[in-house]
A and B are shown apart, each in its own frame.
Chain A
Amino acid sequence: MEKMPHWADVLLIPLISLLLAALLSALVILAIGESPAAAFNLMVEGALMRSAGWGYTLYYATNFMFTGLAVSVAFHARIFNIGGEGQAMLGGLGVALACLYVPWPHWSLALIGASVGAALFGALWAYIPAILQAKRGSHIVITTIMFNFIAAAVLNYILVNILRPVGAMDPATAKFPDATHLPTFRDMFSTADTILFRGAPANVTFFVAVAACVVVWVLIWRTRLGYEIRSFGESETAAKYAGISPVKITVIAMLISGALAGLMSVNTTMGESERLILNSTEGAGFIGIAVALMGRSHPFGVFLAAILFGFLYQGGAELALWTSIPRELIVVIQALVILFTGALDNMVRMPLEKLFLALRKEGA
């Protein structure tokens, strides 16, 4: 028998966690002498009330959807992939190589080519820790963290010594050719007399991310491979008994996970900066862990959680622009949400479970 109804698990717990985080954030803002209500208004106004604000919210959300899905897929096989950051960095390299060295006739083909490049490089970077885990038992949490650092060093070397144009100061590649320019929301939704999403970086990749959510859902719950991944995650011994190869499932789950993380860089590298810069991932690989936890590793949950985190990022930018709340404190607010929704899950869950049990006894 379940301890509490399903709706409480997926809705009530995240909501209560969010409320707690909001409450603490309000106290923090109050402590430095600013008004929490005004700050919250500013965040909502800046992130959700203007089309350009939505453009930024959805841009960040696109990143978090990919990395959240990456963590989710691995998590269904009970593998904790902390390496989304490194896989996304390498994915960026795949995007850059595809965009710079292939003369694409049209952006749609370029998008497909760059996506393949990103997924390949991301998957490749996940493959090594996966095979080490599957064949040698090296703990994947440790190896994927280490591979984040190696990825940063590799990218640094390649950008500085190989891909940087002569005389440029930025450790970045040259600008991608115009043919690879992805349509932004502004290009897609503006009409002649109303300009929407002005200057916002959200682009067609958002729809790729939404499609990825659907594909992951089909993969996990409607295919044989998804069934194998889930049964391996539930019980390795039972899966083995049923003839599922642990090596194969570990490697395949990590390959899919790495490919999804790599796809994130299509959004940042091809959609936004249109050249590969050194810190294009900016921690989205790690935010993906919080997104997956909050979304309960379900694609729809990941979708919602990603938009929430996108809102937090864009709202945070608005706070930085218009108030004297320092940048460090905005990070504290974002971290509080991650802490409560991700790490302190049981703090809310356990009292709730008790409450529901007590209610049920009364009813019986």
Chain B
Amino acid sequence: MTLALALEQLLNGIQLGVMLFLMAAGLTLIFGVMGLINLAHGSLYMVGAFACAAVAAWTGSFWIGLVASLIAAAAAGAIVELVVVRRLYDRDHLDQVLATFALILIFSEGTRWLFGSFPLYLDIPPLLQGAVSLPGGAEYPVYRFAIIAVGAAVALGLYFLISRTRLGMRIRAGESDREMIGALGVDIRTLYTVVFALGSALAGLAGAMVGALQSVQVGMGEPVLILAFVVIVIGGIGSIKGALLGALLVGIVDTLGRLLLPQIVGLFMPLAQAGPIGGAIASMLIYVVMALILAVKPRGLFPAAHG
């Protein structure tokens, strides 16, 4: 394996990790502050992608689409919080899972009703088309660099928001004692809606950016949702720092596993058999890593303060 290939794969792993972080950050924030398991987070990712594709097709500009995806996902999140999720905070996790699973079905069928079953077209904006050269002779798509940059910016932004602002202070307070900050006169209901909308907007942003790389279609959110859950379980549920490190770990392990495992298996058997077997092991690898981490640290790498 050449250095160029290794470097390119490492970047691919980071890019996948950053994308997962955008999903996992919202998920873990919502769990940390409200104690809610939100299975419909993948649907908000889909809402972002569809909003971006539809608005980009209508206006001809990806950038307007990107703004639309943030607004649409945040609005959808706020509406969901006000109408459905608000009633679930005091229920147990099973009720939350059932209700948010129902939301997945409603979002999927609603999107199909609006846009049809065929995938939508969303292209990368001209500014970010093409590839740049890397040391060692490989090339890397500009757009994937842009995703890494946006992810890093969001991580920094979240850090400042949570550690330096009044809203962040309330979020942290909400994480450590929900009832107490309500008793101290903070408008906890508005805080919940704002956090939910913020998490939704991040999912929508991820959906819009990834939509340009993949296909914008109904049901696109669920596979990412599963990975995002793996990330927050590894990182420690409720911890943003854990989500960032967990996401990068999952991204890099998954990418390098897909590259290396078939080759390692290939040392022991012919290529035709090594391909499927190596591929099958690679697809389980992140779950194996998750199991190992949970065996050593049952509450994840960075367990949140409360139980």
A binds B: no
